Amino acid sequence: MDLLPQLLIAGVVIGSIYALAALGFVLIYKSSRVINFAHGQIIATGAFIAFALTQKGVNFWLAGLIAMMATFFLGMLIERVFLRKMVGEPIISVIMVTIGLSSVIEGLIHLTPFGAGNFGFQTPAVLSGDGLNLLGTQLSRTQIAGVLAALGLLAGFTYFFNKSTLGITMRAVADDQMAAMSVGTSVERVFALAWAAAGLTAAAAGVILGLMSGLTLGGLAGIGLKVFPVVILGGLDSVAGAIVGGILIGILENLAAGYLDGLVPGGGTREVFPFIILIAVLLLRPYGLFGTKEIERV
């Protein structure tokens, strides 16, 4: 059994979830220049809504869809109630509002029985059979389905941005708000839609992650922090960057876990390695692989 292909495949699996989570983050940043510290908590909310529904006997696929719709409206609500008021405020205020929001959502989740403990979805029958053997690595069906779902959603969103009128409108607002307004685009609607789409992808990421590795509040909300290395590497305002960055970070952290863990007392390099990459990228190429290069001397 070779270590390298195994690590690469595991990296792509987790990386596609990072990519999906980062997509929502980038959507919000791209349209409204808000950096969302509550993204991990929205992911957790989506996952727990789906889990609560399956507990009540709802079919897994239906529960996932309902959860995605729920976070779609949650995203819209957050934008309307809190972020709309912060337009034009200093960055530190906007950051702190999303940090406050993350704290509030976490508190609300603790009010439900899902705050503490470890939960797992009942694996649907289609996904419980034998998996696939790829280059000597055993992949379970849930993992394959997770990657396919993540990649499918990413492809869908890319198509949406490139071909649909609404997607092009959103890109126009991201590019130049003034110009977009002057041709009659509703910037507010685009902000709301960006948050809604972010909520939807967050729930999808949460459900997929929950299916693959169980549901804990800490684990799901922790993705919200892992998103930072991904988006900085890919470029804060680039959808393609989120996808490439997500998969790259997934691979790199698995490589670190495979090759560096033995060298460090206690191991666990996968938690810290993405952030070392983050610092390196910030110092060498702050706009990331695909981000817009802002020319400015500090």
Partner 1 sequence: MPASRFTQTGNYRVRYQQDQTIFATYAEQLSLVVLLLALLLLPLLISKTLLRDVNMIMIYAVAVIGLNVTTGYTGLINIGQAAFMAVGAYATALAATKLNLPFFLAIPLGGLAGAVVGTFVGLPSLRLKYLYLAVATLAFQIIFEWTVGHSPLLAQGGAIILPPVEVFGIKATFLNHNKVWYYIILPVLVVMGLLWRNILRSKHGRSFIAVRDNDRAAAAMGINPGVTKLTAFLVGSFFAGIAGGLFAYFQKAVVIEDYGLHTSVQLLAMAIVGGLGSVPGSFLGPLFIVALDRGMGGLSNFMSERQIFPPGVDAATALRPLAFGLSIMLFLIYEPRGLANWWRLSRMYFKKWPYKF
Report d(CA 246, CA 226) in Å as an integer: 9
Q: Which of 68, 38, 39, 105 is nearest to 204 (CA)?
A: 68
Binding partner 1 by CB under 8 A: which of 2, 62, 113, 186? 113
Q: Which long-range contacts does 289-295 make (Cβ < 8 Å, 24+ apart)?
A: 289/233, 289/234, 289/235, 289/238, 289/241, 289/244, 289/245, 290/234, 290/235, 290/238, 290/240, 290/241, 290/244, 291/234, 291/235, 291/236, 291/237, 291/238, 291/241, 292/235, 292/237, 292/238
Per rule CB under 8 A, is residue 259 in the interface with partner 1? no
Phi, psi of 230 (to 5 degrees): -60, -50
Report d(CA 294, CA 237) in Å as an integer: 11
Which residues, numbered 208-227, are part of the site for partner 1 (CB under 8 A)?
Answer: 225
| Nearer to partner 1 among residue 188 and residue 271 (C-beta) | 271
What residues have CB less than 8 Å from 25, skipping those under 6 apart?
Answer: 36, 39, 198, 227, 231, 242
| Nearer to partner 1 among residue 8 and residue 231 (C-beta) | 231
Per rule CB under 8 A, is residue 265 in the interface with partner 1? yes
Binding partner 1 by CB under 8 A: which of 59, 62, 87, 100? 100
Site pattern 116..135 for partner 1 (x: CB under 8 A): x-------------------
Specify the DSSP element, H or E, that contains 134. Answer: strand 132-134
Structure tokens at 278: 């983050």
Binding partner 1 by CB under 8 A: which of 1, 111, 125, 295? 111
| Nearer to partner 1 among residue 9 and residue 192 (C-beta) | 192
Site pattern 30..69 for partner 1 (x: CB under 8 A): -----x----------------------------------
| Nearer to partner 1 among residue 124 and residue 222 (C-beta) | 222
Which DSSP state fits 215?
A: B
From the list 20-28, 42-50, 186-194, 260-268, the region that binds partner 1 by CB under 8 A is 260-268
Per rule CB under 8 A, is residue 271 in the interface with partner 1? yes
Coil, helix or strand at residue 119: strand
List, in sequence order, the alpha helices (H) in 176-234: 177-182, 187-213, 217-234
Which residues, numbered 234-253, are part of the site for partner 1 (CB under 8 A)?
Answer: 236
Per rule CB under 8 A, is residue 96 in the interface with partner 1? yes
Nearest approach, Cβ of residue 275 and partner 1 (Å): 4
Binding partner 1 by CB under 8 A: which of 4, 59, 112, 128? 112
| Nearer to partner 1 among residue 166 and residue 264 (C-beta) | 264
Specify the DSSP element, H or E, that contains 137. Answer: strand 137-139
Per rule CB under 8 A, is residue 104 in the interface with partner 1? yes
For partner 1, the binding residues (CB under 8 A) are 35, 82, 85-86, 89, 91-93, 95-97, 99-108, 110-113, 115-116, 225, 228-229, 232, 236, 264-266, 268, 271-272, 275-276, 278-279, 282-283, 286, 296, 298
